[in-house]
Amino acid sequence: MSLTISILGISLIGILFTLYKTRVRIEPEKGPLTKEPETHHPVAHIKSVLFLEIPLERIAMGGFSLILISYGWILISGSTLPELELGLLTLASVIMLLLLFKQILVAGISDNFRWRVLALLVISTILTMLIWNRPGLTDPVLLEDTEIYMLTLHLLGLVLGLGGAVILDVMIFHFLNNFKISSREAVIMHLISQMIILGLIFLIVSGVALTLTDPDTFLENPRFLMKMTSVGVVTLNGILLNLFVVPKMEQISFLEGEKEENSGLISAAFIAGSVSMVSWFTVFVLAMINPLETFSYLQLLSAYLILLAVTIAGGLGTKKLYEVKGERA
């Protein structure tokens, strides 16, 4: 009972906070939800409190509202619905990781915190921990009964991540037809990278739930360990890509007189793109092909590193090809 009341209280605090911050920002200007003017510069877009063009406060408030209504009904009816609570735990975890991702980006780009995002992150973290401690939610039996839903979320994460990585690479080559990426094109690429991050979050949350059904078996499976390694590489590469490459994408140019200034940035972009593509492809293959568990972790890791090296070499070779074409343009 006390845990339910605590969840209701924290949810209400989160809703009131988002309503207050939204009202404070709307009233002085009678304008749109965010103060930042609509720009087509990637840095300004990253600093905005938006995810896939949706204000993070609306995402958080929607989640808090759903949790408040659900647990209010549970408290009043006196019933327990573990499947519903597991879904709410998944929702709270996704919101928490979204806010964490945005806070890391903003802090890395502008060297300061978005305090309202930080406050929402704290609230969502507390909610996630409270729901996690609800009795029976991490019971392997419940997790096995709901495994099909987690597998669906897992597959959605793979589709968003791998699909986004493929689209991002295709669009880079399309945008480089004129040997230069504009600020507007860089913003589009940042939006696609957010879709990839969303897929990664779905993958992590559902992966944790699936692992808890039988931790010992999963942690002894070389295919699963290699998949975790690939997800770790995707996560680190995604953070570095969004922190150091995406904000400067409009500086990528193969035009004479410009390519020399940003040679390091261009190389980093092609390397990061190669790492992202190979790692997401590896995660997808490891998730779908069960016979790969007959190989040892070292064998799978060696194959991954070889494929990674070949793809990076191919990416740098493509960079050199564009440099030659840019000289002739």
Distance CA 132, CA 139 (A): 11
Look up residue 65 and give its two tokens: 């509202």
pLDDT in tens, 214-224: 888 888 899 99
Average pLDDT (129-155) is 88
The string of DSSP letters for 210-274 reads HHHTSHHHHHT-HHHHHHHHHHHHHHHHHHHIIIIIGGGGGG-B-STTTTTTTHHHHHHHHHHHH
Distance CA 49, CA 199 (A): 19
Does residue 23 surpass a pLDDT of 80?
no
Does residue 272 surpass a pLDDT of 70?
yes
Domain range list for the chain: 1-137, 139-329
Nearest residue to 280 via CA among 159, 189, 186: 159
Binned at pLDDT 50, 70 and 90, residue 46 comes out as: low
What is the pLDDT, as a whole number, of residue 37? Answer: 42
pLDDT in tens, 88-139: 999 999 999 999 988 888 776 665 666 888 889 999 999 999 999 988 888 8
Binned at pLDDT 50, 70 and 90, residue 26 comes out as: very low
Binned at pLDDT 50, 70 and 90, residue 140 comes out as: confident
What is the pLDDT, as a whole number, of residue 15? Answer: 92
What is the pLDDT, as a whole number, of residue 20? Answer: 80
Helix (H) or strand (E) holding 51: strand 50-51
